[in-house]
Amino acid sequence: MDDERNRFLTELMGQCWHDYDIDKPINTYSLEAFICKKCKGFILGNNDFSQEEDFMRLYNWAKDQEKLKKITEEYNEGDFHGPERGRLYRERFANSIYDFFK
């Protein structure tokens, strides 16, 4: 997982790159959660754009950005789903957005 890229993209989207103590989770019934020191939010972790759920937030955001139109148009939304081939496309897309702004 590429933290540097994920952090950059998360902040680019105007979201908090959460700062939390990974050693001090709050145990709820079924999951481990954390309290972010910056936004005080109750969180499960930071964005990992290789994961489908987090990725779709990035993709939907990117689709609304006029200057990213050229990049988003190179991809088919259907290619982003699934564990292996989807992951490859998700990584490629996230890297393209990252490179565009770097």
Q: Does 33 bind Zn ion (CB under 5 A)?
A: no
Q: Does 71 bind Zn ion (CB under 5 A)?
A: no
**5: phi then psi, degrees, rounded to nearest 5:** -65, -45
Q: Does 34 bind Zn ion (CB under 5 A)?
A: no
3-state helix, strand, coil in the chain (%, to 5): 50, 10, 45
Q: Does 11 bind Zn ion (CB under 5 A)?
A: no
Q: Does 44 bind Zn ion (CB under 5 A)?
A: no
From the CB of 27, what's the least distance to Zn ion, in Å? 19
Q: Does 36 bind Zn ion (CB under 5 A)?
A: yes
Sheet bearing 32-35, strands edge to edge: 26-27, 32-35, 42-43
**Region binding Zn ion by CB under 5 A among candidate stretches 13-21, 53-61, 65-73, 84-92:** 13-21
CA nearest neighbour of 20 among 4, 8, 32: 32
Q: Residue 33 — left, alpha, or beta (φ > 0 → left; ψ -120 to 50 → alpha)?
A: beta
Among 12, 13, 16, 71, binds Zn ion (CB under 5 A): 16
Q: Using CB under 5 A, list all residues that contact Zn ion.
A: 16, 18, 36, 38-39, 41
